A and B are shown apart, each in its own frame.
Chain A
Amino acid sequence: MADQEHSSLLNKGMGPVQDYPKDIPVYAFIAEKAKQFPDKIALKFEDRQFNYRRLDETSNRMARALIAEGIQTGDVIGISMDRSPEMIMAILAIIKSGAAYIPLDPDYPTDRVEFMLEDGQAKILFTEKKYQGHYKTSSKEVYIEDVLARLNDFEPTQPETGVTGESLIYILYTSGSTGKPKGVQIRHRNLLNLEIGMAHLKMTSDDVLLGITTISFDIFGVEMYLPLMTGATLIITDTLTAKDGRALLDILKAEDVTFFQATPYTWRMLVEAGWKEPLPIKGITGGEPLTKDLAAKLLPLVKELWNQYGPTETTIYSTIKHVTSIDDITIGTPVLNNQVYIVDEEMNNLTNGEVGEILIGGDGVGIGYLNRPELNAEKFIEDKFTGIPGAKLYRTGDLGKFNDDGDIACLGRIDHQVKLRGYRIELEEIEYILSRQANVKTVVVMPRTDMGPDMRLVAYLVLEDITDDPITRLEGWKQALIDELPEYMVPDDFAIIDAIPITPNGKVDRKAMPNPTPFIIRNRNEYVAPRTEIEKLVADVWSEYMDIEQIGVFDNFFELGGRSLLAVKIMARLEQETGKRLPLATLFEYSTVEKLAMRLQVDSKSITWESLVPIKPKGDKMPIYIVHGAGLNVLLFNALAMNLDDNQPVYGLQAKGLNGIDKPLDDMEEIAANYVAEIVAKNPDGPYALAGYSLGGIIAYEMARQMKDAGKDVRMVAMFDTFIKQTTKFDSAIKIAFNKIRFVMMQILYSFVLLAEDPKRAIEYKWLQLKRRIIRLYWRIVHGKEQKQEGFFGYSNQIDEENQRAMDNYFVKPVDIAIDLFRAKKRTFYMDDFKTMGWKPFAKRGVNVHDIPGEHNTIFAPPNDKEFAVVLQACLDKAGSK
C-alpha cells in the first residue's frame, strides 16, 4: 500500500485537533463577552430583553443567593422552570455557584422527575412558586421569585468557586432500556470543547439565534451557550410558541434571526406552515436523521444547512456536515478533538467502508452515567486507538460506515437495523421518493412484525388533501418507487393516517406509530380473472348488474358498491342460470366472486373433506401427524410446520364433519380409528410420529394405542400442551362431587395467582373460555339436537361439542409408551398436575417434559413458533433415528 493512501485511511474519523483552554469554566467565557459588549442584547423573550451586563450581574447575584442557600462547589441542583429569561439566568447562576444542574422540563412526568432528583442527589430544586410541592422530593425547594426579590442583597460579581474544566456542569437524563432514566454526566471542558468546535458555523456577535429546544434535550446546550459565549443574541420562546410553526416563522422573519437549530420534525413543521421565501438563516439540524426530502425542501430556504450527529454521552454533537446537496447527506466528519471509529465485533477500525458500530472518542466523551457502573463498563470502553491512559471510547449502538471521502454515513440503530428478506432497507430513500409524490404531505416508512408471520414494510402517509381518493394514487406511488428503487424496497402496505406521532423531543415516535391495519388502503384487489366456468358466470352477472367492466375473483360485492336490491337481483339471476336456489343472505356472507362461486358449486361430489390434510408433505424424515385442538383448525399448525426442517413432512388431522355432510364423531376410539385408517392408507409402514394440540393430544394418545396394538412403528407421541384428566364418568358420585368442588376451588385460586402475575392475559383467557361455552350453549338452545347444519362451517360448534363428549366418554388406559410433553411456559389455567400435566400415570415409559415459550393459545404464534419448532425438530430427529 502506498504511503499516501495509508495515511488518508488512517485519517478517516479523525476530527481537527486544536488546543483549547480546558481549565477555564464555561461561564468565564460569557463573563468575558459581558465585559466586551455590556450593552448588547444577550437575551430576548417576547417584549422583554436583557443586555449582557444585566445577564452577568443578575446571574452572579443569583449564584450568590444559591450559595447562601448552602450550595458548595460540586453540589447538584435540579432546575424546573417555564421557559423564560429567568430560566436561562438561573442555569447560568447554578454553574456560577459551582454547582451542576439537572435540567427538568416541567412537562415531564412527575415520577420521572422525582427519580432524577433522587438519583442525582440534588441538594436544591430551583423552581417557581407555581410548582411549589409539585414533586415529592427531599431536595430543598428554592423559588426564583424569592431569589429575584432579594437580588440586591448580593454582590453582582462572580463568586469564587474553584470550578475547573474537570468539574461537572450538568447531569442530563436520557431514557434507559430498563425503564429508569440514566444520568449522563458532562464536564465543563466537554461542553467548552464543543462550543469552540462550533467555529465551523462562524457565529459572530452580530448574530441572532432563536432557541426553542426544551432544557431536557441536550441540544439545548448549543442554543444557550453558543450565542452567549459569542456575544450574540439569544431569543427564546415559550413552549407553546415552540410548537407553532406559523408563530416561529413570524419570529424568524420579524427578529432577523440568523441561526436556528431544530430537529427535522420542527424544520418540517416550518415548511408545512407555509415557509416559501428564503431567509438568511444558518440552519442546524440534529437529534434524528435528516431525510433527503426535507433537505430538498430546506436547501432553497436557508443560507446554510448543517447536519449534526452525536449522542448525549459525548456532549451533544460529535460530527458535523455542511449539507449542500441532497445527494450528499451524511453526518460528516468529527468535530474538534473528537474521533470516530467504525468497528466490527473484533474492534477492528473499518476504514474501508464496511458497516460497523460507531465509536466516539476524544474530548467530547463525558464522565459516564451516574450510579451505573455496569452500564459504564459496557458503554464506555478503554480507548485502545489513541492509547492515552484513562481515555474512553463511547459505544453508540449506531451503525455507520466511512464513505470514500471520509464522511461518515449513519445507518441507524444496531438494534433497529432494518433487514427485510435478507436485504438492508434504506427507509429514508423510500420516504424521500414517496414524499415527492402527488398529495403526499408527510411519510414515515417502517417495518412491522406484528402483522402476521412475515415482517411487512409499511408506508404511513399523511395526505395534503384528504378528500382526494388515495386508491387512485396508489398505483402511481408504487410506480414511482419501482422506477427508482429495487422491488424489495417497495412497501407492502400503504396506510393513511392523520398525523405522525412525535416524542416530546420532536422526534418521530416510531414506537407510537399505530398498527396500520385499519388504515391500509386496499387496492382494488389485483385483478385475477375467473378461473372456472362458475366463477366466470358469477363475475359476468355482477359485471352486468353493477355496470363494472372487469370483475376479478377476489373482488368484494360490497366494496364494489353492491347493495341489497342488487344482491337479490344477482341471486335471482344466478338461480335462473344454475337452477340452484341459495339463501338470499348467501351473498352477504360469501361476498367475493370466488366464495360465491364456490358456494354455488358445493355438493357432495365436488369437494372431499378428508381428515388428513397435507400441511407440508415433502421430505424424507419421519412424518409427524398433528391432531387438531378444540379450535378444529389444522391451519394453526402452518407456522410451526414452516419452521421445521425443509425435509420434515407435516400432516394435520381435522375433524370429520367439517364439510357439513359427514356426521361428526363422538366416540374417542372411533375418531382415533378413523384418523389411523387415513394415515395408514397413505403411509402403511411408518415410522410415525403422532402429536396433538390441546384436546387433540388425547386423540393422538388413543391413536398411538391403537397403532401399537396393530404392531405399527410409532416412534413418538407428542402432546402440545395437552392436559389429561381421567374422566369422572366411571367414578362414584361422591368422588365426582368432591373432585369437582376441589378442582373448581383450585381453578378459582389459580385465577387469582394469574391475575396478580399478568392480569390482562388471565382475563382474556377466562373470557375466551367463557365465550366458547356461551357459543356452545347458544348453539344448543337455538338449534336443538335435530336441527340440520348447513354450509361450509355449519358444523364447527357441533364438532367441538361432539369432541368434548367423546372426551367425557373416554376412559384413558395406560399405554406402553413414552410421551413427549411440550408444555407452554406460561400457564393460563389451573390443572391438578403442572409438572406432567396429568400424563404420568398413563405413559408407562415416562413423560419427557419440554418447555416451550408462550401460553396455551399462543404456542404456535410468532415468535414462539420458531423456538417450538427447534425443540420439536430435535425430538423428532432423535426419535426418528432410534
Chain B
Amino acid sequence: MPGSVNCSFIGQPGWGQLPASEGLNKYTIYIWRGATANLHPLYYACFALLDPQERARALRYHQLQDKQRYVIQHGILRVLLGSYLNVPAQDITFTYNQNKKPGLTVTAKPCFFNISHSAGEFLIAIGDTELGVDIERINPDFAYADIASNYFSADEVVFINGSHNPTEAFFLLWTRKEALLKACGTGIDDNLPAMPGLDGPRELPADYPDTNWLTESFYTGNDFMGSITYPSPQKKIVFRQIDADWIAPLF
C-alpha cells in the first residue's frame, strides 16, 4: 500500500510564551517561532554553544544577516533540545542523513526536530516522531508562475489560479510540499510535482515508504505561511513565540 498525506489548514494559531521546562510530552509537537531581529542580544551566547562545524558554516555566509540568523537559530535549537533532553546544549551532537537532513544521535527518549527560516523569521519544530517544517514569507512580488507551471501538478495550478489570493495559495502549497519532503528526509527533488499539496487525503508516489503523513498549515504572523508534516495519528501542536527575555535563563 502506498504512503499518503492528509493536508489541512488551521489558520492563525495562538503563539504562547511558555517556557520549555515542562519537557517533551508524548503526542505533542512543539513549534517555536523566532525573529532574528529580536534575538540579537543572544548572539554571543548562541555562538558559544555551536560546535566547530557549525561555527565554520556560520562564518562562511557572505551576508551578515544570514550568519546571524544561522547562529541564533542553531544556538536556540541547541538550548531547546538540551532543555527537553536534559543535557547541556553544547553537548548535543547532530548527524546528517545522505540528503543532509540533520538529526540527533541516540537520545534517552525519542526526539526529532526540523528547522526552517525565511526573511528573518524562523521555525524550530520538536517532537517525538519524525517531522518536517517549512516557513515562507508570503512575498506578494514573488513570481510564482514559472515554478507552479514546472513543478506543481495541474490540479494545483488550477487551485492557485482560482484562489482569491493566488500568491498565498502558492505558498500554502509550497510549504506543504517542502514540509513533506523534509519529513521524508529527501529534501527538494524531482518529486516536487507529485508531492500532494491540496487539502484532504492523497496518495504518495509508489516509491515512497507507506507512511501516512499529516500536514497542517498555519499563518505565522500576518506575512508568513508555515506547514508541519508528521506521521499520523494527529497530535497536539503547541505553538510558541521565542522571546529573548525568558529564553535567556535556559542558556
Q: Identify which of A520, A522, A559, A588 contacts B188 (C-beta below 8 A).
A: A588
Q: Identify which of B43, B64, B151 contacts A568 (C-beta below 8 A).
A: B151
Q: Does B207 contact A (CB under 8 A)?
A: no
The reply to whether B59 and A470 form a contact with Cβ atoms under 8 Å apart is yes
Q: Does B67 contact A (CB under 8 A)?
A: yes
How far, in angstroms, from A564 to B67 measured CA to CA in the complex? Answer: 17
In the complex, chain B residues whose CB is within 8 Å of the CB of A498: 48
Q: Does B9 contact A (CB under 8 A)?
A: no
Q: Identify which of A467, A496, A563, A573 contacts B59 (C-beta below 8 A).
A: A496
Q: Does A748 contact B (CB under 8 A)?
A: no
Q: Does A602 contact B (CB under 8 A)?
A: no
Instruction: Say how far A700's CB is from chain B's closest CB, in angstroms.
Output: 36
In the complex, chain A residues whose CB is within 8 Å of the CB of B40: 467
Instruction: Say how far A153's CB is from chain B's closest CB, in angstroms.
Output: 54
Q: Identify which of A466, A472, A568 contacts B147 (C-beta below 8 A).
A: A568
How far, in angstroms, from A585 to B151 measured CA to CA in the complex? Answer: 13
In the complex, chain A residues whose CB is within 8 Å of the CB of B68: 467
How far, in angstroms, from A518 to B54 measured CA to CA in the complex? Answer: 9
Q: Does B164 contact A (CB under 8 A)?
A: no
The reply to whether A522 and B147 form a contact with Cβ atoms under 8 Å apart is no
**Given the contacts A472-B64, A569-B146, A575-B150, A585 and B189 also touching, CB distance less than 8 Å:** yes
Q: Max chain A CB contacts within 10 Å: which of B62, B63, B67?
A: B62
Instruction: Say how far B153's CB is from chain A's closest CB, in angstroms.
Output: 15
In the complex, chain B residues whose CB is within 8 Å of the CB of A588: 100, 187-188
In the complex, chain B residues whose CB is within 8 Å of the CB of A520: 56, 59
Instruction: Say how far B63's CB is from chain A's closest CB, in angstroms.
Output: 5
Instruction: Say how far B120's CB is from chain A's closest CB, in angstroms.
Output: 11
**Given the contacts A471-B62, A472-B64, A572 and B55 also touching, CB distance less than 8 Å:** no
**Given the contacts A466-B44, A466-B47, A565-B174, A572 and B62 also touching, CB distance less than 8 Å:** no
- What mask results when residues 561 to 588 of chain A are scored 1 for a CB within 8 Å of chain B, else 0? 1011101110011011000000111001
- What mask results when residues 248 to 271 of chain A are scored 1 for a CB within 8 Å of chain B, else 0? 000000000000000000000000
The reply to whether B151 and A567 form a contact with Cβ atoms under 8 Å apart is no
Q: Identify which of B55, B66, B150, B187 contacts A585 (C-beta below 8 A).
A: B187
* New A-B contacts (5) at CB < 8 Å, excluding given A561-B65, A572-B146, A584-B189: A555-B62, A559-B62, A576-B146, A584-B188, A588-B187
The reply to whether B60 and A522 form a contact with Cβ atoms under 8 Å apart is yes
Q: Does B168 contact A (CB under 8 A)?
A: no
The reply to whether B59 and A519 form a contact with Cβ atoms under 8 Å apart is yes
The reply to whether A519 and B55 form a contact with Cβ atoms under 8 Å apart is yes
Q: Does A560 contact B (CB under 8 A)?
A: yes
Chain A stretch 475-521: residues in CB contact (< 8 A) with chain B? 496, 498, 517-521
The reply to whether B150 and A560 form a contact with Cβ atoms under 8 Å apart is no
In the complex, chain B residues whose CB is within 8 Å of the CB of A585: 187-190
The reply to whether B188 and A568 form a contact with Cβ atoms under 8 Å apart is yes
In the complex, chain A residues whose CB is within 8 Å of the CB of B44: 466-467
- Chain A, residue nearest B188 (CB): A564
A sample of 29 inter-chain contacts (CB < 8 A) reads A466-B44, A467-B43, A467-B68, A469-B64, A469-B67, A471-B59, A496-B59, A518-B52, A519-B56, A520-B59, A522-B60, A524-B62, A555-B62, A559-B62, A560-B63, A561-B63, A561-B65, A565-B147, A568-B188, A568-B192, A569-B146, A569-B147, A572-B147, A573-B146, A584-B151, A584-B192, A585-B188, A588-B187, A588-B188
- Chain A, residue nearest B62 (CB): A524
Q: Does B208 contact A (CB under 8 A)?
A: no
Instruction: Say how far A781's CB is from chain B's closest CB, in angstroms.
Output: 14
How far, in angstroms, from A2 to B178 measured CA to CA in the complex? Answer: 88
Residues of chain A having any CB pair with chain B under 8 Å? 466-467, 469-472, 496, 498, 517-522, 524, 555-556, 559-561, 563-565, 567-569, 572-573, 575-576, 583-585, 588
How far, in angstroms, from A585 to B192 measured CA to CA in the complex? Answer: 11
The reply to whether B56 and A565 form a contact with Cβ atoms under 8 Å apart is no
Q: Does B136 contact A (CB under 8 A)?
A: yes
How far, in angstroms, from A573 to B65 measured CA to CA in the complex? Answer: 26
Chain B stretch 25-76: residues in CB contact (< 8 A) with chain A? 40, 43-44, 47-48, 52-53, 55-56, 59-68
How far, in angstroms, from A316 to B40 measured CA to CA in the complex? Answer: 50
The reply to whether B188 and A561 form a contact with Cβ atoms under 8 Å apart is no
The reply to whether B136 and A565 form a contact with Cβ atoms under 8 Å apart is yes
In the complex, chain B residues whose CB is within 8 Å of the CB of A521: 59
Q: Does B241 contact A (CB under 8 A)?
A: no
Q: Identify which of B43, B47, B62, B187 contacts A560 (C-beta below 8 A).
A: B62
The reply to whether B59 and A522 form a contact with Cβ atoms under 8 Å apart is yes
The reply to whether B187 and A572 form a contact with Cβ atoms under 8 Å apart is no
How far, in angstroms, from A559 to B66 measured CA to CA in the complex? Answer: 8
In the complex, chain A residues whose CB is within 8 Å of the CB of B67: 469, 471
The reply to whether B190 and A584 form a contact with Cβ atoms under 8 Å apart is yes
How far, in angstroms, from A491 to B90 measured CA to CA in the complex? Answer: 31
Q: Identify which of B48, B53, B151, B190 contacts A572 (C-beta below 8 A).
A: B151
- Chain B, residue nearest A523 (CB): B62
- Chain B, residue nearest A555 (CB): B62
- Chain B, residue nearest A472 (CB): B64
How far, in angstroms, from A160 to B50 measured CA to CA in the complex? Answer: 64
Q: Does B118 contact A (CB under 8 A)?
A: yes
Q: Which 5 A-B pairs have the closest CB atoms?
A: A518-B52, A518-B56, A561-B66, A469-B64, A564-B188
In the complex, chain A residues whose CB is within 8 Å of the CB of B53: 518
**Given the contacts A519-B59, A583-B189, A584-B192, A572 and B150 also touching, CB distance less than 8 Å:** yes
How far, in angstroms, from A563 to B68 measured CA to CA in the complex? Answer: 16
- Chain A, residue nearest B65 (CB): A561
- Chain A, residue nearest B47 (CB): A466
In the complex, chain B residues whose CB is within 8 Å of the CB of A470: 59
Instruction: Say how far B160's CB is from chain A's closest CB, in angstroms.
Output: 15
How far, in angstroms, from A471 to B56 measured CA to CA in the complex? Answer: 12
How far, in angstroms, from A494 to B48 measured CA to CA in the complex? Answer: 19
In the complex, chain A residues whose CB is within 8 Å of the CB of B62: 471, 524, 555, 559-561
How far, in angstroms, from A644 to B119 measured CA to CA in the complex? Answer: 54
Chain B stretch 171-186: residues in CB contact (< 8 A) with chain A? 174, 178
- Chain B, residue nearest A561 (CB): B66
How far, in angstroms, from A583 to B47 measured CA to CA in the complex? Answer: 35
In the complex, chain A residues whose CB is within 8 Å of the CB of B52: 518-519
Instruction: Say how far A784's CB is from chain B's closest CB, in angstroms.
Output: 14
- Chain A, residue nearest B192 (CB): A584
Instruction: Say how far B242's CB is from chain A's closest CB, in angstroms.
Output: 18
How far, in angstroms, from A867 to B66 measured CA to CA in the complex? Answer: 47
How far, in angstroms, from A583 to B188 measured CA to CA in the complex? Answer: 10
The reply to whether A567 and B188 form a contact with Cβ atoms under 8 Å apart is yes
How far, in angstroms, from A567 to B151 measured CA to CA in the complex? Answer: 12
In the complex, chain A residues whose CB is within 8 Å of the CB of B59: 470-471, 496, 519-522
In the complex, chain B residues whose CB is within 8 Å of the CB of A471: 59, 61-62, 64, 67
- Chain A, residue nearest B143 (CB): A569
In the complex, chain A residues whose CB is within 8 Å of the CB of B147: 565, 568-569, 572
Instruction: Say how far A775's CB is from chain B's closest CB, in angstroms.
Output: 12
In the complex, chain A residues whose CB is within 8 Å of the CB of B43: 466-467
How far, in angstroms, from A496 to B43 measured CA to CA in the complex? Answer: 16
In the complex, chain B residues whose CB is within 8 Å of the CB of A563: 117-118
Q: Identify which of A559, A564, A576 contacts B61 (C-beta below 8 A).
A: A559
Instruction: Say how far B199's CB is from chain A's closest CB, in angstroms.
Output: 21
- Chain A, residue nearest B139 (CB): A565
The reply to whether A583 and B190 form a contact with Cβ atoms under 8 Å apart is yes
- What mask results when residues 89 to 126 of chain B are scored 1 for a CB within 8 Å of chain A, else 0? 00000000000100000000000000001100000000
Instruction: Say how far A792's CB is from chain B's closest CB, in angstroms.
Output: 18
- What mask results when residues 185 to 223 of chain B are scored 1 for a CB within 8 Å of chain A, else 0? 001111010000000000000000000000000000000
- Chain A, residue nearest B64 (CB): A469
How far, in angstroms, from A471 to B67 measured CA to CA in the complex? Answer: 10
- Chain B, residue nearest A573 (CB): B146
How far, in angstroms, from A522 to B55 measured CA to CA in the complex? Answer: 12
In the complex, chain B residues whose CB is within 8 Å of the CB of A564: 178, 187-188
Instruction: Say how far A680's CB is from chain B's closest CB, in angstroms.
Output: 43
In the complex, chain A residues whose CB is within 8 Å of the CB of B65: 561
- Chain A, residue nearest B186 (CB): A585
Q: Max chain A CB contacts within 10 Å: which of B53, B66, B174, B192?
A: B66
